Amino acid sequence: MLYRRLGHTDLNISLLSLGSMTWGHQNSEHDAHQQLDAALAAGINFVDTAEMYPTPTHADTWTTTERFIGTWLAARGNRDKIILASKIAGPSRDPAGQTHIRDGLSHHDRRNIVAALDGSLKRLQTDYLDLYQLHWPDRTTNIFGAREYPYLDDHPDSAAIQQTLVVLDEQVKAGKIRHIGVSNETPWGVAQFLRHSEDQQLPRIASIQNPYSLLNRLYENGLSEFSHREGVSLLAYSPLAFGTLTGKYLNGAQPAGARLSSVYRTFNRYGSSEAQSAIASYVELARSRNLSPAQLALAFVIRQPFVASAITGQTSLAQLQENLGALEVQLDDALLNEIQAVHRRIFNPAP
């Protein structure tokens, strides 16, 4: 396993990390414990979860993933062996949905942060989190595949970034959090978090957890400079684009038990003709080099200097082992040029 430093912290995290958002829908508690055991044995030390998991979030299943991790930690007694991260949900983006999480009004203020954090710690059966992240912004902006900025006013109860940092500072001083991070953020948001941290000696964000894959390289435009100049590391989620970059969904295939065949049947971020064409090109490119398409996709992500870790989500131990093989893949200049040729032809088809 290879490790990289997370931001300016003292944490060295594994270049591949264990995502958990399927645990409770596609994976049982037994499955989750098996994956955690196998990951730890392979040298993976970073485990990422969230209060709203598994996704899609439902009133009868949210928080299940954290509970699975908590029972594993209690059974193994190895909290000191992992770097554990979780997230507070933001306010609901759909008035008809997510009302089960604090009535859909999970603004990043004191009441919600304290409730969310204390709930996560209890379910995870731990006294502290190594990294606590804001799952998405508490303001109106373009996230989760939205290409255009909405030009809409924020909710009147939205917490200002400075207010959020003050509350997180209290939790750090209380020993409940070691470091903080953001997720699904924009360049403007990252700049504001850094500005308020510096101006008022508040905790500094160590990381940003955003999507990054062969189908979505928007992080390179704007945010990657914050990684380079400010030391804000990327925790890349969806590096396999919900498994589409494995090629298993090409030509309309719906493999049994797969994420986009079951719980995410209506999810269409990767279903456009442009995305499908790009996927087919990358799969063909991988196979022409006798590489697994999944390993090609992951190898591209983890070679980027701004990536501290790629968060992989798998539903089987076999998938976990295949993903680990990406650590051995070296992308030569000729192959990188071919990847760039596909990227130039089909530019970021799945933001």
Residue 69 sits at φ, ψ, to 5 deg, of -65, -40
Provide the annotated active-site residues: 53
Backbone angles phi, psi at 79, to 5 degrees: -55, -35
Contacts 24+ apart (CB under 8 A), 76-79: 76/37, 78/40, 79/126
Contact 146, 194 (CB under 8 A): no
Nearest to 69 by CA among 119, 116, 35: 35
Contact 141, 150 (CB under 8 A): yes
Nearest partner of 185 among 228, 152, 234, judged by Cα: 234
Per-residue DSSP letter, 19: -
Strand runs (DSSP E) across 70-176, as ranges?
83-88, 129-134
* 37 Cβ neighbours under 8 A, 6+ residues apart: 76
Closest by CA to 39, choosing from 9, 13, 5, 60, is 13
Distance CA 97, CA 56 (A): 10
14, 310 contact by CB (below 8 A)? no
Instruction: Using the Cα atoms of residue 24, residue 142, residue 270 and residue 237 in order, give the sign of their dihedral.
Output: negative
